[in-house]
Amino acid sequence: MTLLSVVIVNYRSREHLSACLDALLLHIGSCGFEIVVVNNDHREDLSSVQALERPEVRIIHNPINVGFGAAANIGFNDSSGEFLLLLNPDVVIRPGAVEVLLETMQSSKDAGIVLPQLRNPDNTLQYSCRRFYTWKTLWMRRGPWSRRLSSHPIVQRHLMRDWDHASVAEVDWGLGAAMLIRRQALPEAQLFDERFFLYFEDLDLCLRLRRAGWKVLYTPAAVMTHQHRRDSAQAGALLAKFHHLYSMLKFLSKYRFRLNPEV
């Protein structure tokens, strides 16, 4: 079995994908690895992405956009690594990041997911790990008033801004933009719940693994840069906003409207 499988879901992100693959191939280290790119827009011309010609990289073209979770599952089932590194195409890994993730995972036998430290393009810290939602944080973060309430202590605590992000720690969940996942923790041969077309699939995954007894760890020594477009937060991004709302309602329905359903 290959030690590491990297799965990247691409959707209209040609330039980001090129930079992501170039950095990955440069800094992935000496472990045995494979890279699977799952393209959700077969019409996009990816001929300029030279890294796709490398023998370690293979690409799967979906005939339609099946959604992020379903596309990630296709990559997951097409790969064989003991560990799976899920990356968004707008993530650029830095030297040593993959080695640190693997070392943390291998030394923590009860870890199902290990999250890196994500940084913005200006090198400021990106608050990528979160505490579980409460009804208050959901209301403050997901309404039209969210920007005005962004500095509220309840929102700050949800985003874990009360923690310095300087040490390895167990967290509730983290963004699916970059996460190392133990294949053994997924006995159903499925990574994400495909009822979530986009958004909330990462929260659902972390919750499922935690309920099964696995830990979600954050390690600040594994640093990656994340462009983090936040499509659903952009003015006029009606389709993204729709998917976010729809996935939120599906999540609430799945867990019977309990926002922290660990028990």
pTM of the entire structure? 0.93
**Which residues are within 8 A (CB) of 101 and not within 5 positions of it... i.e. 6 or more apart?**
85, 114, 116, 180, 219, 222
Q: Which of 259, 231, 251 is nearest to 137 (CA)?
A: 259
Whether 244 contacts 231, CB under 8 Å: no
Mean pLDDT of the chain: 92
Q: Which of 105, 31, 67, 102 is nearest to 194 (CA)?
A: 67
Position 263 scores a pLDDT of: 52
Confidence of residue 236 (pLDDT cuts 50, 70, 90): very low
Domains of the chain: 4-119+165-228 (3.90.550.10)
Confidence of residue 229 (pLDDT cuts 50, 70, 90): low
Helix (H, G, I), strand (E, B) or coil at 198: coil
- Cα radius of gyration (the chain): 18
The two beta strands, 215-226 and 91-93, are: antiparallel
Position 241 scores a pLDDT of: 82
- For residue 47, pLDDT over 90 is answered with yes
* Residues recorded for the chain: 263
User: Average pLDDT of 104-131?
Assistant: 97
- Helices (DSSP H) in the chain: which residue ranges? 14-27, 68-77, 97-107, 135-142, 153-158, 201-211, 238-254
Q: In Å, what is the CA distance from 185 to each residue of 2, 110, 138? A: 17, 9, 28
Q: Which two tokens stand for residue 63?
A: 């005939």
CA distance 206 to 215: 9
Least confident of 39-43, 49-53, 142-146: 142-146
Q: Which of 213, 180, 205 is nearest to 97 (CA)?
A: 180
